[in-house]
Amino acid sequence: MKKILSLPLLAVMALASQAWAAECMIGTSYAACEYSDPACYSMSPENSNSVTGVCTKPNCTCDQLITACKKDGKLYSFATRPSIWEAAPWGNGKTCSGNGGTLEYSAGCGKWCKWSTGCTEIKMDSEFATCEAAIKNCKDNAPSYSDATCSTFDGGRDPSRTALGCCLWSSTETNCHTIWSDETGAETKVSNCKSGTNKFWNGECTSSGTGCPTSTPVYPASSSSAAASGASSSSVAGGSSSSVVGGSSSSGIGGDSSSSEDDTPIISHNKAPVVGLSVIHFARSLQIASGKDATVALFDMQGKQVFSQKVLSGTTILSLGKQRQGIYYAVVSSGAQKQTVKVVLK
């Protein structure tokens, strides 16, 4: 008795005289079923064995055969009819994956993912229709393992990473997200979370519900006071001092005066000619020295522009006092020149 006849539910025979019988298709591609023996068989209502509890040869439909394959094997497709079906042993002892097949469905993808709920086998579903997509989803969000006990790490999130905190991004969000140490810009995310209407907790988010801890967040603190009432003095190029936050009039570089911050973010401006472009960040201000008129744009860490201002040629002190705490990037363009400066507002 041939080995292919001993399969419990679906065994596909491809005898030489039957090689060109009508075969099941997936779109314009040939459907194939791969078993762990290994074996890679074509599917044909005329040649396929009966499927226990489903259909009896030769009355099995392609839909029934494909459904049975999904239950007991892996469904593949071939753009052209593979050569392993042209002669004995008709795909027996062969793999579809090793002969140019494209995986269409697998009950299990041969890898396991360690979610917060435990170690589970990675499988395709309605959201991730291929194993490639299902495995990528795991590796993007959790550690991936090659064994069912999740003991041999093979990619994705580093299992040795630590949770830097749990964040609820703004009051309009409902779900909290853990900020992990191996994320790009993790420290910046922590700093950004501790600002505005966000909420921040130390440690990892919970694994149930919205993920938000029930304890009091570290940010915002139970009581806090705004720190923008006073005016601090900053020494700027040229030796003159200016009020950066408080909104009072200030003496600019070269002696020009400017209106308060309530009217304009420009604290001072010196018309003295400047060569090139220079941008310096200090306190909650920017000093821009430009040979031509310039445009200043401030972006948060999510890439959103939160502020813009045009300044004239010369040296300008620009207040950022109205921006909330966090890390930003200031992009200053002047003619063909451009400078980007990291801005940390405390």
- 90 and 41 in one domain? yes
Whole-number pLDDT of residue 71: 78
Domain end, chosen from 224, 251, 272, is at 224
Judged by average pLDDT, the poorest of 75-89, 242-256, 263-277 is: 242-256
Domain range for 13: 3-106
pLDDT at 125 over 80: no
- 64 and 14 in one domain? yes
- 148 and 100 in one domain? no
- 8 and 94 in one domain? yes
Provide the 10 A C-beta neighbour count for residue 94.
21
H or E element at residue 177: strand 177-180
Q: Tell me which range, 237-241, 246-250, 253-257, 315-319, is most confidently predicted by mean pLDDT.
A: 315-319
H or E element at residue 40: strand 39-42
Whole-number pLDDT of residue 249: 36
The count of structural domains within the chain is 4
- Phi, psi torsion values for 296, nearest 5 degrees: -110, 130
Q: Is 121 in contact with 108 (CB distance < 8 Å)? A: yes
Confidence of residue 171 (pLDDT cuts 50, 70, 90): low
Nearest to 51 by CA among 33, 28, 27, 76: 33
Confidence of residue 255 (pLDDT cuts 50, 70, 90): very low
H or E element at residue 138: helix 131-141
Q: Is 345 in contact with 326 (CB distance < 8 Å)? A: yes
H or E element at residue 179: strand 177-180
Task: Provide, rounded to the nearest whole percent, the portion of the chain with pLDDT above 90.
Answer: 17
Rounded Cα gap, residues 148 and 142, in angstroms: 15
- 195 and 264 in one domain? no
- 10 and 34 in one domain? yes
- 252 and 208 in one domain? no
- 238 and 337 in one domain? yes
Report the CATH number at residue 254: 2.60.40.3080
pLDDT in tens, 261-278: 345 688 778 888 888 898
- 341 and 240 in one domain? yes
Region 103-115: what's the mean pLDDT?
Answer: 82
Within 8 A by CB and 6+ apart from 23, the residues are 30, 31, 42, 43, 44, 81
- 175 and 144 in one domain? no
- 19 and 79 in one domain? yes
Task: Provide, rounded to the nearest whole percent, the portion of the chain with pLDDT above 70.
Answer: 78
- 66 and 96 in one domain? yes
pTM: 0.33
